[in-house]
Structure 1
Amino acid sequence: MNTDLRGKIALVAGGTRGASRAIAVELGRGGATVYVTGRTTRAERSEMNRPETIEDTAELVSAAGGQGIAIRVDHLDTAQVAALARRVEEERGGLDILVDGLWGGDDYLEWGKPVWEHTLEPALRQIRLGIDAHLITSHHLLPLLIRLPGGLVVELTDGTAEYNARFRKGTSVPFYVAKAAAHHLALGQAEDLRPYGCTAVALTPGWLRSEGMLDHFGVTEDNWRDALAQQPHFAISESPAFVGRAVAALAADPEVARYTGQTLSSGQLAKVYGFTDMDGSRPDGWRYMVEVTDAGKPADTTGYR
């Protein structure tokens, strides 16, 4: 698999933790210069109040072989994002890869509540984080991407377009709308970028073993299988590196434009590009979700990883 990204300039918005952190690291492993933005630094935490920082991510990028640059940015503040764009322009002249992994809405989730019972301010905050921040980021940074053909925009989401074509029972309207919006962002941006020879896609991991998810189950990446006693279907979960490798493969693919406007998954792209998760497997999380979890079958990953 080609992941040579030397000379490429990338920006991972919301690269503090989870999938976005792993994407930044894998882009760095390919040799890219990666700007890592987010709200949590070693001096100040975001509302999520987690310990991971953008400086940590930037150091991981550099340790992997790239150049990591951490910049604190609140992507809901248009002035801060405009300043970010000016800095990248002054320092690099443009962008090759923009990954929009902005979220930070986990603490606002009220699962299973109808919209009239969901607390309104947390509901609106999810929309702001999942939609408004993405649009603000695109508005200010896409002008740097269109300067040369071959640019790539990746909108991170949760769920394939097929899976999100119907309401996801048990979640909530605010979460569903915030995440499903990525499909339409990719479609719209693909058309806007087409005349410039640039590509826009949405991308979803499967069941992600993020820092928060591991904490939820009281496990680590080393002993994550201990969580199967609580949730057997967690057996299909994937490390953040899996989706990171998916983005690195897309970014290095000279024919990536064939995917423009589509919503892709880490499991789908693993079959195309041949990469694996850290354990050598290729978890196909969303097919498993449909055919096993939603079908009410007992946990069994045979044929799915």
Structure 2
Amino acid sequence: MGVGVGVGVGGGAGVGMAYGSVPRGGRALGSRALDGKVALVAGATRGAGRGIAVELGAAGATVYVTGRSTRARRSEYNRPETIEDTADLVTEAGGRGVAVPTDHLEPTQVRALVDRIATEQGRLDVLVNDVWGGELLFEWDKPLWEHDLDNGLRLLRLAVETHAITSHHALPLLVRTPGGLVVEMTDGTDVYNRSHYRVSFFYDLAKAAVLRMAFSLGHELGPRGASAVALTPGWMRSEIMLDHYGVTEENWRDALAAQPHFCIAETPYYTGRAVAALAHDPQVARWNGTSLSSGQLAQEYGFTDLDGSRPDAWRYVVEVQDPDHPANATGYR
């Protein structure tokens, strides 16, 4: 999720640009750096998933994008973004986008998805587990015994079970080709989350579980020639986040009146560039099993956000936001 507010990462977040435009700016990976690579971004309807899919496409990859919101049917979010829109944006960016409606809680649907990728491509190089869907389900600062139990359990299913189901079916295809990469999308680094309570029992548990998934998968994939990492964005200017503050991508700084720390915000394309850089790194195994952030990887690989900046949100949170210092992104982007 965007740091400090209850509107999340993954399927529930994205950049507030109108469909039909692919914003380009700043420094990204070369346009054909991932030519011939095949990626699956699970949970790519909007948000981090959409940003990741588009940046993989901009680097030349074929990207299968999945989710439950289509042009024919919306999910319970009842938002206008669709997986078809995301696929078109991938293609417009220079890759090949393929939209496949998929409920990742349904193993038969996930199995059919992976079988299709195997038939059409014969390989899978990158798996991004970005399914989330919990924005409407968790309750801020309510203890476990006061939280709606059905909502909390569904949040765990959407945030954790979907990732396990998808990896179970997709990893046999991914390990066929040496150098495969799994990216588990979460909110918060391992170091930060181990020492901070995150919103609610259910939210905290979900994000901790995803961090641990990357660690566990790293142990299982490493000997088989693949790698797994956990990746967190910082404050992300998603559709839901922008709507929350009543702003657009064009005037997002107007939100600083309500939340001054939003000054450190980044677009989902920043996280997308982090994933593209990892996918292109021949030494990506050095990160296997670890927890990473978009700001950390921007410093490592040299990419920027669309505006040419390099927001380092998690350092900002620790050094400025949590100590309750006045909001000031100088030196952090």
1:9 pairs with 2:38: yes
- Structure 1 segments of 4 or more deviating over 6 A? none
Compute the RMSD of aligned alpha carbons: 0.9
Q: Measure how far apart 1:174 and its partner are.
A: 0.2
Report if aligned partners of 2:29, 2:273 keep a CA contact under 8 Å in 1. Answer: no
State the Cα deviation string for residues 58-80 of structure 1 (Å, max 9, x = none).
Answer: 00000000000000000000111
1:161 pairs with 2:181: no
Partner of 2:263: 235
* Aligned 8 A contact 2:29 2:303 in 1: no
SS in 1 for 2:144: coil
- The answer (yes or no) to whether the contact 1:2–1:253 under 8 Å persists in 2 is no
Report which stretch shifted further, 83-92 or 198-207. Answer: 83-92
Aligned position for 1:135? 164
Q: TM-score, normalised by structure 1?
A: 0.98
Provide the C-alpha distance between the structure 2 equivalents of 1:239 and 1:85, rounded to a whole number of angstroms.
Answer: 29
Equivalent residues in 2 for 1:78-97 (5 A)? 78-97=107-126
Mark the runs of 5 or more structure 1 residues left unpaired by the alignment.
none
Within 2, Cα distance between the matches of 1:272 and 1:77? 37
Please state if 1:55 is matched with 2:84: yes
Q: Which of 194, 208, 211 is 2:222 aligned to? A: 194
**Partner residue in 2 for 1:120:** 149
Which residue matches 2:137? 108
Q: TM-score, normalised by structure 2?
A: 0.90
- Alpha-carbon deviations, 1:221-269, whole Å to 9, x = none? 1100000011100001101111011000000010000000001000000
Tell me if structure 2 keeps the 8 A contact 1:148–1:196: no
Identical aligned pairs, as a percentage?
63
Are 2:302 and 1:265 aligned? no
Question: Counterpart amino acid of 1:162?
Answer: V
Instruction: Tell me how far 1:168 sits from its aligned partner.
Output: 1.8
Q: Does 1:43 align with 2:72?
A: yes
Aligned counterpart, 2:23 = none
Structure 1 residue matching 2:292: 3-state secondary structure? strand
The alpha-carbon deviation at position 302 of structure 1 amounts to 1.0
Q: Which has the higher contact order (CA 8 A, sep 6+)?
A: 2
Distance 1:240 1:88 in 2: 25
Q: Which residue number in structure 1 is paired with residue 176 of structure 2?
A: 147
Residue 279 (str. 1) matches residue 307 (str. 2): yes
Whole-angstrom CA distance in 1 between matches of 2:286 and 2:272: 20
| Deviation of 1:139 (Å) | 0.3
- 1:117-153 Cα distance to aligned partner (Å, 9 max, x none): 0000110011001110000000000011000110000
Work out the CA distance in 2 between the residues paired with 1:34 and 1:278: 21
TM-superposed deviation, 1:182: 1.5
Contact 1:186–1:201 (CA under 8 A) maintained in structure 2:
yes
**Cα distance in 1 between the residues matched to 2:271 and 2:186:** 11
> Counterpart amino acid of 2:277?
A
C-alpha displacement of 1:166:
2.2
SS at match of 1:277: coil
User: In the TM superposition, what is the alpha-carbon distance from 1:109 to its structure 2 partner?
Assistant: 1.9
Does the residue aligned with 1:107 lie in a helix, a strand or coil? coil
Count of residue pairs the alignment pairs up: 304
Once residues 85 and 231 of structure 1 are traced to their aligned partners in structure 2, the CA distance between those partners, rounded to angstroms, is 42
Q: Does 2:325 align with 1:302?
A: no
What letter matches 2:87 in structure 1? A
Q: Does 1:249 align with 2:277?
A: yes
- Give the counterpart letter for 2:114 in structure 1: A
Shift of 1:2: 4.8
Deviations 1:146-203 (A, max 9, x none): 001100000000001111002425x101001111111110011111111221010000
Structure 2 CA distance for aligned equivalents of residues 26 and 186 of structure 1? 22
Query: Quick one: which of 48, 65, 77 aligns to 2:106?
Result: 77
Residue 108 of structure 1 aligns to a residue in which SS?
Answer: coil
1:41 and 1:54 in contact (8 A); partners too: yes
2:136 is paired with a residue whose SS is helix
